């Protein structure tokens, strides 16, 4: 990791208790790696006044107590902590396989996605399930993973009018991203399938199956397999 990392970093005030630290302006694995490495450094040795660290695709939002720290103090501390970045070892990612039943009632928009690109539904399923997708960040709702690496052939705009309710487990596409809805919520992504696996379960020791930096691999399953797995999750 380059010692000159902060030559390209931008610092922006975010309200009266936030400092936004920007590492790039695009969805990029190297930029995201820097974000995650810095989050580890700050988590291990947070400067005085930091209340919360929120990593995103390309930036860190640092929430702080203005009675203890000022943006200038935090900026100086962050620049100083840069020296520790070369020694940071991010845990290797794990790959989490997610079974998905594509199309039908579970993927009401898959035919639109296919027609938009001159593909068959089978092509959409194949192209969507081939990659291992890196998880850049988690947000929007508990456990919602924003995944990179979607085939350019499948890039499809969001819905013109969002749905008021997207079922739990739905898998969707929005522009150049794909992701999953761990809980039922409003949403405007093109829905192409659904997983019967509980992506967020507060009653589990670890409520989430994955974290930022891990990878997701989708596995196509039949409606019968969906029903069987759904019963096992009950």
Residue 88, pLDDT > 80, answer: no
Structure tokens at 146: 């924003």
Quick one: pLDDT band at residue 1, thresholds 50, 70, 90? Answer: very low
Q: What is the pLDDT of residue 81?
A: 83
Every domain of the chain and the residues it spans: 5-87, 95-233
Q: What is the pLDDT of residue 4?
A: 40
Per the CB < 8 A criterion, the answer to whether 129 and 122 are in contact is no
Nearest CA among 117, 182, 188 for reference residue 150? 117
CA–CA distance, 140 with 158 (Å, rounded to integer): 16
Rg of the chain over all Cα atoms, to the nearest angstrom: 20
Tell the CATH topology of 95-233: Cyclophilin (2.40.100)
pTM for the predicted model, two decimal places = 0.80
Per the CB < 8 A criterion, the answer to whether 134 and 149 are in contact is yes
Q: What is the pLDDT of residue 90?
A: 77
Quick one: pLDDT band at residue 97, thresholds 50, 70, 90? Answer: very high
Name beta bridge partners: 191: 172
Residue 21, pLDDT > 80, answer: yes
DSSP state, 216? Answer: E
CATH number belonging to the domain at 5-87, selected among 2.30.130.40, 3.30.70.270, 1.10.3720.10, 3.30.1360.40: 3.30.1360.40
Residues 151-198: tens digit of each pLDDT: 999 999 999 999 999 999 999 999 999 999 999 999 999 999 999 999
Average of per-residue pLDDT across 12-31: 86
> Which class for 207: exposed (0-12), middle (13-18), buried (19 or more C-beta within 10 A)?
middle
Residues 40-49: tens digit of each pLDDT: 888 888 889 9
Sign of CA dihedral 98, 104, 106, 109: positive
């Amino acid at each position: 990791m380059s010692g000159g990392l902060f030559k390209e970093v931008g610092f922006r005030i975010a309200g009266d208790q936030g400092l936004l630290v920007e590492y790039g302006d695009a969805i990029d694995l190297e930029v995201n790696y820097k974000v995650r490495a810095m989050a580890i450094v700050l988590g291990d040795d947070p400067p005085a006044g930091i209340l919360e660290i929120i990593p995103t695709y390309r930036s860190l939002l640092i929430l702080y107590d203005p009675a203890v720290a000022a943006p200038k103090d935090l900026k100086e501390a962050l620049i100083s902590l840069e020296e520790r970045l070369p020694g940071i070892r991010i845990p290797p990612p794990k790959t989490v396989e997610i079974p998905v039943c594509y199309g039908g009632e579970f993927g009401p928009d898959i035919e639109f996605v296919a027609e938009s690109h001159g593909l068959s539904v089978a092509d959409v399923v194949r192209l969507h399930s081939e990659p291992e997708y890196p998880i850049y960040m988690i947000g929007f709702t508990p456990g919602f993973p924003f995944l990179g690496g979607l085939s350019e052939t499948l890039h499809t705009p969001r819905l013109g009018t969002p749905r008021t309710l997207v079922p739990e487990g739905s898998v969707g596409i929005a522009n150049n991203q794909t992701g999953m809805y761990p809980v039922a919520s409003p949403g405007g992504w093109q829905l192409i399938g659904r997983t019967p696996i509980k992506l967020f379960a507060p009653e589990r020791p670890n409520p989430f199956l994955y974290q930022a930096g891990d990878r997701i691999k989708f596995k196509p399953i039949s409606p019968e397999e969906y029903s069987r797995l759904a019963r096992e999750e009950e």
